[in-house]
Structure 1
Amino acid sequence: MIFWILATTVMLIALFTLYYAGRGDGVNALGNSDATREHFKAQLAEIESDTANGRMTESEAAAAKGELAREVLRLQAEAGGKPVRPLKQPKSLLVLVLLVVGGGTFAVYTTIGAPGLPAQPLEARAIPTAAPSVDVPQAIAAVEAQLAANPDDARGWSVLGPIYMQSERYADAVTAFRRVLELLPVTADAETDLAEALMMANNGAATGEPMQLLQSAAARDPQHIRSRFYLAGEATRAGDYEDAIAQWQALLALGTGSEPWVETARRGIAVAEAGLTGEAPPEAPVVTAPDTDQQQMIEGMVEGLSARLEAEGGSIEEWTRLVRSRLVLGDIPAAQAAYDAARLAYPDAALRTELDAMAQNAGLE
C-alpha cells in the first residue's frame, strides 16, 4: 500500500509539472520577467499622470514615450527579435495527453512489474556459488560427438584426456593424449600425460614407451617435477640405486621442502641407500616382487598427481581422487595434507560435497 501511495504521489507531481509547462504561461512578449513588464507599465502611467497634472508638456510627454518605446525595442532586440506570444495548448487536449501518459505508465508497470514482491535484505540477494550438477557421461558423449565431426580439435582432445583418466578409461585416455601430441606443440606435460595413461593401461608397467616419454619430458624441461618423479621411482624399482639417489636428490633440489612429495622423495633416497648397502629400508621390511613393483608404481602415480596439483592446481575431482588414493595407501597424514590443500583451493563447501563426506568417514579433520 505504501508503495502505491508513493508511486501515485510521484506520478501526480510529474503530471502537474508537464501540465504547467504545456499551458505556455510564464513567458511574456519581451522574453523577460513579469517584473520588467510591470516596470514599463508603471513608467507609462507616470508619464500620462504628469501630462494630465500639467507637470509635463505634450511635447515632453511625447519625447518621454518615445524614449520608453526605444528601451522596449532594445530589450526586444536583446531577446532575439520580435516578441512572439507563446502558443497555448487547448486544455482539453493537454489533459487528454497527460491522462494517456499516466494511465499507460501504470498499465505497463502492473503488467511487467512486481509491486507485491516483498523487500529482500541485501545479504539475502547473494548469488549462490554452488556449481550446477553435471552429467559426466552426457558431457563425455557431447565432446566425443564434437570430435567425431572435427577430429583435429586439439582443445577437445585436451579436455577429454583427463576425463578419461578420472573415469579409469585408460585406453581411451591414451588415444586422447596421443592426439594432443600430434596436434599441438610437444610439451613436457603432454608427454608425461601420455606416459601416465600408458602406465595405467599396462597395470603400472613403465618399461618401453612410457620410459621414453618420461625421459624426453625431463630432457625437454629440466625442472619438470612429474616426469623426474617417475624416473626416480623407476630407477629405485629397477635397483639402479646410485642413479636413483642422484635423481631423488635432484628432485628435492627443485622444491622448497614443503611440497607433499618431499617426504616420498626422502623415503626413496633411504630405500636406495639401503639397497646399496644390502640392508633393509629403515621404515619398512623388504617386500618381495612383484608386489613391491606394483606398490611402488601406484605410489609413483599418486605422487605424480600430487606434484601436479601442488604445482599447477586442478579440479575438485582430481583433489578428491588424490585424497582417496592416500587413504587407500593407508597414508593418513598425507591424506590429511591433501585434504587441507583441497579446502584451500576450493573454499566453497558446496563444491566439496563428495570430498567432505569421504574425509569425514575417514576421520580426517
Structure 2
Amino acid sequence: MLFWIITGVIAFVAAALLAVALVRGRTGAEAPAAYDLRVYRDQLKEVERDLARGVINAEDAERTKAEISRRILAADAQVQAGGETGGQPEGLGRGLAIVLGMALVAGSVGLYWSLGAPGYGDLGLKHRIDLAKDAHDTRPNQAEAEAQMPPGNPMGEPPANYVELVEKLRKAVADRPGDLQGYQLLARNEAALGNFQQAYQAQQRVLSIKGDAAAAQDYIDYADLMILAAGGYVSPEAETALLAALSREPRNGAARYYMGLMLIQTGRPDQAFRAWDRLLREGPADAPWIQPIRAQIEDAAMRAGVEYALPPEPGLKGPSQEDMQAAGEMSAEDRQEMIRGMVSQLADRLATDGGTPDEWARLISAYGVLGELDKARSIWNEAQMVFKDRPDALETVRAGAQRAGLQ
C-alpha cells in the first residue's frame, strides 16, 4: 500500500506542475507581439534618422513610416488581446492540462502493471538468492514429479513384436540379478519403448552391479533417464547422479548442461547462463547439448539481466531454435516423425558426403534409441569399413554402437 501512496503522490505532483504550466501559459513572460512592437518602433526611429541624413527622400520616408505604423497598430492589438497569457486560449489550456494529467497518471499505472510486479515487495539480491536456495531445497522429488506427468507413452505405441522381445528380456534379467550386459541392454530398450521409469530402474541396477567401477557416463545415463521420466525436470535424485558424474569427470558436458537446467528451474538463471555460455564456447559444435543450450541461453541471459547476442552457429547445422520450439508444440507421434526425419537427413548426408566419427556414432546411437537396430547395425558395419585404418576414429564410432546395444 505504501508503494501505491508514494507513486500516486509523485504522479499527482508531476501532473499538477504540468497543468499549471499549461493553464497559466506565458504568464510573466513577454508576448511575441510585444517584441515585434518594440522592433517596429525602433525601425520608425531609424527612418527618421535616414531622412535627416538625406539617405532617403521625403516621399519614401512617408511611405515607409505608413507601413511601419500599420504594423505597430496590428502588434499593439495582439498585445492587448493576449493579456497575461500572451494570447493562448484559456479553455484549450485547461482542457489539455486535464487530458495530459490523466494520461500521465493512467499511463504510469498501466506501464507498471505491464512491466512491474504488482503486489510484490522489493526483492534484493540477497533475498532472491535465499528464495532460490529455498526453491532448490524444497523442490519435488523424482516420484512426485513423475506423478504429475500426463498418462500415455511419450514415444507412441511401439510395435507389438518389439514389446514382446523386451518382455522376454525383462524375464531373463530377473533371473540373473548380476547380469551387467543384460541390464544395460534392458535400460536401452526400455528407453526406446518410452518406458523411462523402468529404464532408469534398470540403469540403477547397472550402477549397483558396477559399484565403484561405475563411470561418469553410467551416472549421466541414469540422470538422463530420470529427467526424461519427469518430463525434463531435474529432481534431487537426478542432481545427485549428475554430481556423481562430475566427481568422476568434472568437465563432462552433458552433466554441466543438466546442472544448468536445474539452476534455471530453481531460480538461478545467472549461474545457469555462465555455465551454458562456457559450454557453448567450448563446443564441439556437434555436441548433443549445444542445440538445447542455443534454444534456451538467450532467455536465461534476459532473466539474468545480461545483454547477450547468440553467436552464429558454426559448421554442421542441427535443429534450429525454431525446430526446438516447434517440437515442443507437437504431439508425441509428430515429434517422433520429426526426429526420424532429422536422422534420415543425417544418414543421407553421411552416405553421400561422409562425416566425422562423432556424426557416425550419433547416427548409430539415434537408430538404437528409435529401436531400428537393423539400420543401426548396417551403419555400424559400414563405419567399420570407412574407419578401418583409423583406430582412434573407430573407437569413437564404437561408443555409438555400444549405446545402441550392438556390442
TM-score bin (small chain) = 0.3 to 0.5
TM-score by length of 2: 0.38
TM-score for both structures, normalised by structure 1 = 0.41
**Which structure has the larger Rg?**
1
